[in-house]
Structure 1
Amino acid sequence: MAHHHGHHHVKGDSKGRSLGISILLNLLITVAQVIGGIVSGSLALLSDALHNFSDVLSLVISFVANKLTKKKASTKKTFGYKRAEIIAAFINAATLVVVAIILIIEAIERLQHPQEIGSDLVIWLSVLGILANGFSVWLLRGDTENNMNMKSAYFHLLTDMMASVAVLVGGILMKFFEVYWVDALLTLAIALYLIYVGYDLLKESTKVLMLFTPKSIVVQEIVDAINQMQGIKNVHHVHIWQLNEEEIHLEAHIDFEHDIKLSEFDVILEAIEQKVLQDYGINHVNIQPEYGKCDSKKIIVQD
């Protein structure tokens, strides 16, 4: 059995610094909005504060996960902590959904019993939320494309910024038109958007944790491509999974037409590695060579 792998380095230090700044900003917003929500009686402001607090927790989780991924592998942890960021993304996505459900319950109750709200405080604190979260979103935006952990933190902050915009609009409507039910309605809209974003991220992180084949990869295509190589009789017992944001693994058994030398196998293995890396982005390959072995020849074999 042999394997090949490639590494893509990321700027972990800059990610950690951005997360640290975002944590401090969200702590400031949370405290201010809790006080403001209690004083003004605004459910939207309190719900925004609750979401901000969930942001603080999610950012802390993301920060810790980012640090853990830098720890080296050992005999007790042969993969190191490479999955820490995927677990963080899963937790953060789950908290988005839970917070949304809590907000929906509170919003429905407030719609049934509207209350007068101190709109001036709501307006000023929502502006603070927009500025602070907007800055945090700007800090994290560059790290979201290829990192599920950073994407989960980014979505927490982005939805919070949008929530603050909604609260600002609601505060203005309440100040000039005394339409107090809009506070609960905006809270409901924020919650529904949280579920939409959180569910998608929860689904993606769950697929990685469950070792599902990445959606961009068709197993049969890879098997057909390898089967076309000279000297190969059959490809079977295939496993393809994503370890983290940077590593996709392929494991397979290959039957050879002839009892070849190890040096000949190495040449074929190199060709397989190059093929799957260039065409499918698979950067870790484990192949078990076989000749005349009596085992299942199915592509997928339940271990």
Structure 2
Amino acid sequence: MSHFNNHGQQDGSKNKIALKWTFFLIAGFMIVEVIGGIMTNSLALLSDAGHMLSDAAALGLSYIAVSIGQKAVTNRKTYGYRRFEIFAAFINGLTLIAISLYIFYEAFRRFSEPPAVASTGMLIVATLGLLVNIGAAFILKRGDNDNLNVKSAFLHVLGDILGSVGAITAALLILFFQWNLADPIASMIVAFLIIISGYRVTRDSFNILMESAPENLPTDDVKAKLMTVEEVEEITDLHIWLITMDFPSLTCQVVVNQAADEQIVLRKIQNLLHDEFALHHMTIQIEKKNN
């Protein structure tokens, strides 16, 4: 049995910086948007402010997760705290879903009697919010896009961008056409887009927590590729899972023919898995077939 692992410690410093500055940007403008939403009586602004509050909490949690994820391994925690990042992303996804459901509820309440909205003030605040959110998205894009927490945070901010666009559109419709229904309608459209993003993040992180095989590493495909190695007779106990989004792992038992050199077969398998599937962390047990 041999263990092959080239996967070094991931440097998460750029993720920490991106999450930290995005947190301050979102949290700061969230206060402005709450005040603006109250003063203009705009559900679109208040909904987006609530989403930004969720974002601030999620970003803070993601920052903590990335920081904890960099802690060294211990005798008991042999993978360190890497999996905490996935748990944080799962919470972020659930938060997105909860916020979107609340927006739906508030929007339905306003359909029967749309209140008057101060459209000019709403337009100013929404436009500033759009600029702030674009800035936050740019900061996050400079982080690691394969990191699930950065991806989750980016989806949060994307929801804010869509919220700002919806609020701007609604403000213009109210300003020029006095159509107050535009406010709850814009809120519902944004809520629908947010719930899709929340579902995707929740699904991805849940699958990792359940140690499901990654979509890009289906066990049948990996097994078929391993069977192309000349000396291999059978593959058993094949397991593929993710420790974190960028840390796939594999274990399997490989049965080879009696004439095979076990070390040569092992190197062939290691190279194949590395070249074909970008796998670095693997544990492979070689056994010879009984006559």
Interval containing the TM-score (normalised by the shorter chain): over 0.9
SS at match of 1:61: helix
What is the count of residue pairs matched by the alignment? 290
User: 1:259 Cα shift?
Assistant: 8.4
For 1:190 and 1:123, locate their aligned partners in 2 and report how far apart those are by CA, in whole Å: 17
Give the match for residue 73 of structure 1.
73
For 1:163 and 1:144, locate their aligned partners in 2 and report how far apart those are by CA, in whole Å: 24
Give the match for residue 266 of structure 2.
269
User: 1:219 Cα shift?
Assistant: 2.0
Q: Identity of paired residues, percent?
A: 28
Task: Determine whether 1:290 maps to 2:280.
Answer: no
Give the match for residue 19 of structure 1.
19
For 1:277 and 1:82, locate their aligned partners in 2 and report how far apart those are by CA, in whole Å: 22
> Is 222-231 or 211-220 further displaced after alignment?
222-231
For 1:87 and 1:272, locate their aligned partners in 2 and report how far apart those are by CA, in whole Å: 32
For 2:12 and 2:218, locate their aligned partners in 1 and report how far apart those are by CA, in whole Å: 31
Give the match for residue 174 of structure 2.
174
For 1:158 and 1:62, locate their aligned partners in 2 and report how far apart those are by CA, in whole Å: 16
SS at match of 1:72: coil
**Which runs of no fewer than 5 residues in structure 2 stay unpaired?**
none
Matching of residues 1-303 of structure 1 within 5 Å: 1-7=1-7, 11-143=11-143, 145-258=145-258, 264-291=261-288
Contact kept? 1:89, 1:149, Cα under 8 Å? yes
AA partner of residue 272 (structure 1) = I
Give the match for residue 297 of structure 1.
none
Contact kept? 2:14, 2:144, Cα under 8 Å? no
Pair 16,52 (structure 1): closer, same or farther in 2 beyond 3 Å: same
SS at match of 1:287: strand
For 1:82 and 1:195, locate their aligned partners in 2 and report how far apart those are by CA, in whole Å: 26
Pair 241,164 (structure 1): closer, same or farther in 2 beyond 3 Å: same
User: 1:257 Cα shift?
Assistant: 2.6
For 1:116 and 1:199, locate their aligned partners in 2 and report how far apart those are by CA, in whole Å: 33
SS at match of 2:77: coil
Normalization by structure 2: what TM-score? Answer: 0.93
Give the match for residue 300 of structure 1.
none
**Which runs of no fewer than 5 residues in structure 1 stay unpaired?**
294-303
For 1:275 and 1:97, locate their aligned partners in 2 and report how far apart those are by CA, in whole Å: 41
For 2:67 and 2:288, locate their aligned partners in 1 and report how far apart those are by CA, in whole Å: 45
> Is 55-64 or 214-223 further displaced after alignment?
214-223
For 1:7 and 1:256, locate their aligned partners in 2 and report how far apart those are by CA, in whole Å: 27
> Is 142-151 or 18-27 further displaced after alignment?
142-151
Report the aligned-residue RMSD.
Answer: 1.8
Pair 240,45 (structure 1): closer, same or farther in 2 beyond 3 Å: same
Contact kept? 2:145, 2:151, Cα under 8 Å? yes
For 1:198 and 1:233, locate their aligned partners in 2 and report how far apart those are by CA, in whole Å: 44
Contact kept? 1:82, 1:244, Cα under 8 Å? yes
> Is 88-97 or 225-234 further displaced after alignment?
225-234
Normalization by structure 1: what TM-score? Answer: 0.90
Contact kept? 1:69, 1:81, Cα under 8 Å? yes
SS at match of 2:4: coil
User: 1:8 Cα shift?
Assistant: 6.1
